[in-house]
Every structure is written in structure tokens, then in C-alpha cells.
Structure 1
Amino acid sequence: MSVGLGVIASTADGADDGSPEAAARDFYAILIKHRVSGLPNDTVWPLLKQRVTPELARVIEAAQREQADFIKRNPDEKPPWIEGDLFSSLFEGPQEFSVGRAKIVDERAEVPVSFVYRSEGETTKWQDTLVLTKSGTGWQVADVNYGGTWEFGNKGTLRKGLRPGGAATFREGRHRYAMGGDRIGATAGMPAMAGEV
């Protein structure tokens, strides 16, 4: 299932079958619907907080405090984590996504998520992996493993990037290259994932 801007609300509010794939769809539907850039603001954070593990919530809230502190101490400087998509490899963030089949081991799941971003006649496609853990309330997001291979993409994982001093993990600026640094056009793509839904 591919989800774009036009169908986000129905996907986010749709029935949840309790699977890690459904949790991944719900999570990214909210992010795209609200066009989250930088750390989640007071409007969207309550929606996301209930969908992430307590550990990831603590990491995000610590980063929010660090950012607020930085703004107070350095009002004329750009604070860390203020802009750009932190929940995918691409600074601009995805416009569409599709969720692949989860790999589940005990209470941990890894869900491949394929993304699409289009601008100025070019299409960028990439795949990140959403890591979820199962709790009493269902599957919750524990981390994001960035899979973008271009030079100016988020690298490593979300949690590492949100640690004190980790803002360098997140890259600024628009890129025009993807998948090994090759320029790709509107018809280029990536291979379909096995088990893609």
C-alpha cells in the first residue's frame, strides 16, 4: 500500500490490525500529514508520543530541552534539530511511502519503509527501516535506521542523531542525488521489496 498526501487522513484514522506494519503506516501518516520538520512541536508531539517507546520519547524530549536551552543561550544562532525531516533519510522528507513486510523476532520488529519525494521533475526514492518493540499497548516505534545512500542524507539512526551533540547526523540542504549518488529522474526507481504490501 502506497500512501500519499491525498489519503493521509483516512490512513491515519483507519482501523489498526495490531501489526507492526499498521503501526508503521500510522506513524508515517501522521508525520506526513502534519509535515513535521525538525523536532516535533507541541501540536504533533502528543500524537507521536503515544506511538513511540518510552525510551525514544525520553530521547526526543531531552533533545527538545537541549534545543530550547540553545535558543535561550544563542538567540541569533540556528539551534540543532530545528528543521528537516528527522524521521527519514531525506532532509525534505517523504511525500509518499509504502510499508513492507515486518521481520519479527520476539518482541522486536523491523519494518522496511519505501519513500518517494518529487521536486522539479525529479523523483527520489529510498528505503529506511523502522524499528518497533511490542508493549502492552501494541507496537511502538523504538528507532529509525536511515537507509539513504546519498552524501547529504541523515546517517546512522534517529536515536544516535538525537543524543547530545548528535545534530551533525542530520544533513541540511536539498540534495538531487540518491541511490549511490546517481542523479535520478522521474522514471527511475528502486527494486520492489520482497513482501511489499
Structure 2
Amino acid sequence: MALNDAATLVIGSGNYLTAPTGTAMPDDLLTPLSPWDPVGHTSLEEIFSITSEGGEATVIGSLQNKSLRTKYSARTEKLAFTLQQFDLAGLKLYYGSNAPTLPDGSVGVPNDPIPTACAFLAVFVDGESHFAFYAPRAEIYRSDDLSFGDTESLAGLPLGVTPMPYGQNQWAYAITPLGGESAQPVPPGGA
């Protein structure tokens, strides 16, 4: 692999958007049009993270070869960011899409919350370059407990995005490469 200075990333700004499940990635990532809708203000400190569960290796052997093959369990990944906008849409992303709006305008917290099902797009801008994560099908729901830590910073709603395969796709989410190698997103694990 050759050195590629254009493939480095320093995030200057970014945006998180949702759309109906199955919505294609927009042609213009910097100004995505409807039905893509920004989720609102997000944390400057906790920009984005990816965690995974599963993927454990099990070595399978035979009497003649104790390490004949390796089998991996299924892996689930979760993308996370912190929403700092406590409006109706933001509260429903955190508490569940079935959180009712009560007669006085407050949001009821459901006993059996349902995650928000949608397409998800995260776009990060570095000068003239941009980098994106795209999931045609995902579920958004709280990723951590709510905590207000101080009076000096904006409070936030920690959200987790679980990408899932859509239709016949053999991938759950796609990533746009930097450095001019390809303008098309590269799904995790190949095509």
C-alpha cells in the first residue's frame, strides 16, 4: 500500500441525516436533498464512534490437524454519536419512535420502546474532501443512559445506529474512501 496524503482525515464539520428506509445515498453528499433530513445539533466533543459485538474466532480441528479451520461468529456493529437537540424528533430518536406526544406537548416515555427505522447518513468534511458512512437500513435508539454532567457544556442524547442489511445487499453499511481511489462507497468486507 502506497502513502496517500489525500487519504488522511481531519474533521472540520459534519452532519447526520435520516431518510425513509431504502433511500439511496445522495449524489451530492455536501448538500443532500429531500428526503434526507438532518437530525440536528450534535456534539463537538464526541463526534462519532463505531463499536462491534461478536466476531469471535473458534478454531475447529481434526484428529490429524488440531487447527484445521477457523470459524467466526456473526458480527454486529453500532455507530454512535451524541445529539444535542432536545426537540420532539430528537426525543423520539432517543426514547423510541413510539414515544407518544401527550396533550400538553410533552413526550411520553414508552414501556416497550421501538427504535426508529430509517436510512442513515453521516458526512464529515475536511476542507475540500468529504467522508461518509451510509446505511440504507438502520435502527436508531439510545446507546447510553442520559446524564447531565455540568453547567458549562451542552447536554446530549447518546444515540446508537445499528446498520442492517437491506434487500439483497451482502453488507450493512458503506464507507466512501478518501484519496481519489473510487467515488463509490466501499461496503465493509468488500462487495
- TM-score relative to the length of structure 2: 0.25
Kindly indicate which of the two structures has a greater share of residues assigned to helix. Answer: 1
Greater C-alpha radius of gyration? 2
Kindly indicate which of the two structures has a greater share of residues assigned to strand. Answer: 2
- TM-score relative to the length of structure 1: 0.25
